């Protein structure tokens, strides 16, 4: 039973994008468009090359921003402001998820490769604001992104989170490898399952999974 596997968990870590809202709303599509536009303007390349670089940097460095910082020493602050200026109206409150997360025992945090101010806007649009004890963005990891182990270590040390008593919910399978290695319980939240040794559980329904944990 999933509930038994989480009986030791006192700290709950949630990714944001495509985890605390369903990927079917395609919110991140808006961000990708703005990422491409930023790369075009900053590097003076056409749309096709900017799209290629965006995807290449994501695959190689974890995020497009990480690649731009590594290769071009780009200032992250203007980039993060630009790419997150998106329309939140596609998001709607989720009372079931709100109730489930609120009922989880222990400390609850959000940790995203986006910025913390952006995360706060998403949570408000989903009716999840006020549920979490802390919200951490990529800026809290010195702009090092998940899946880098050092990024997790930085954020979790700042929070005082004990990995052996924590669980991580995340849509990107890559981003569960480091938490698993640290001793966390890992949950892949996505429409399609991904078999890997570092993934303990999969769900395509976060609310339903949480209610199973609550019994």
Mean pLDDT of all residues belonging to the chain:
96
- Statement to judge: residues 206 and 171 lie in one domain: yes
Give the structural domain span for 116.
2-22+92-214
CB atoms within 10 A of CB 81: 12
Give me the number of domains the chain comprises: 2
Average pLDDT over residues 97-123: 98
Do residue 193 and residue 150 come from a single domain? Answer: yes
Clarify whether residues 106 and 168 are in a common domain. Answer: yes
Please check the confidence at residue 1 and state whether its pLDDT lies above 70: no
Asked if residue 115 and residue 38 are part of one domain, the reply reads no
Instruction: For residues 126-142, give the mean pLDDT.
Output: 97
Residues 54 and 109 occupy one common structural domain: no
Q: What value does the mean pLDDT take over residues 111-127? A: 98
Same domain, 39 and 100: no
Measured from the Cβ of residue 174, the count of other Cβ atoms closer than 10 Å reads 14
- 100 plus 58 within the same structural domain: no
3-class secondary structure, 111: strand
Whether the per-residue pLDDT at 205 is higher than 80: the answer is yes
Best CA proximity match to 149, nearest among 108, 198, 194, 116: 198
Using the predicted structure, report yes or no on whether residue 126 has a pLDDT greater than 90. Answer: yes
pLDDT at 215: 82
Each residue's pLDDT tens digit, 172-198 = 999 999 999 999 999 999 999 999 999
Strand partners, 13: 109, 168
pLDDT of residue 3: 87
> Using one digit for the tens of pLDDT, what is the confidence trace for 154-179?
999 999 999 999 999 999 999 999 99
Phi, psi of 80 (to 5 degrees): -65, -40
Q: Given this model, what pLDDT does residue 75 score?
A: 96
Q: Do 54 and 108 fall into the same domain? A: no
Res 2 pLDDT > 80: no
What CATH number should be reported for the domain holding residue 45?
1.10.150.450
Q: Are residues 204 and 160 in the same domain?
A: yes
Residues 6 and 101 in one domain: yes
Of 94, 122, 111, 97, the C-alpha closest to 175 is 111
Residue with token string 């079917």: 24
State whether 150 and 71 are in the same domain: no
pLDDT for 30: 96
- 13-66 per-position pLDDT tens digit: 999 999 999 999 999 999 999 999 999 999 999 999 999 999 999 999 999 999
pLDDT of residue 8: 96
Same domain, 34 and 116: no
């Amino acid at each position: 039973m999933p509930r038994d596997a989480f009986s030791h968990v006192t700290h709950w870590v949630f990714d944001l994008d495509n985890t605390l809202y369903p990927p079917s709303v395609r919110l991140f599509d808006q961000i990708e468009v703005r990422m491409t536009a930023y790369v075009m303007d900053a590097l003076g390349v056409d749309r096709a090359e900017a799209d290629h670089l965006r995807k290449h940097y994501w695959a190689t460095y974890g995020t497009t921003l990480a690649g731009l910082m590594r290769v071009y020493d780009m200032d992250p602050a203007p980039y993060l402001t630009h790419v997150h200026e998106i329309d939140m109206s596609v998001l709607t409150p989720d009372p079931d998820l709100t109730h489930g997360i609120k009922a989880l025992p222990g400390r609850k945090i959000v940790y995203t490769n986006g910025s913390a101010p952006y995360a706060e806007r998403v949570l408000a649009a989903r009716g999840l604001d006020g549920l979490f004890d802390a919200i951490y963005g990529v800026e809290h990891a010195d702009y090092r992104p998940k899946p880098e182990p050092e990024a997790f270590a930085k954020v979790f040390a700042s929070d005082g989170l004990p990995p052996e008593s924590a669980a991580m919910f995340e849509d990107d399978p890559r981003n569960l490898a480091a938490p698993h290695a640290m001793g966390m319980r890992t949950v892949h939240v996505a429409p399609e399952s991904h078999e890997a040794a570092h993934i303990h559980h999969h769900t395509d329904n976060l609310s339903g999974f949480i209610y199973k944990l609550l019994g």
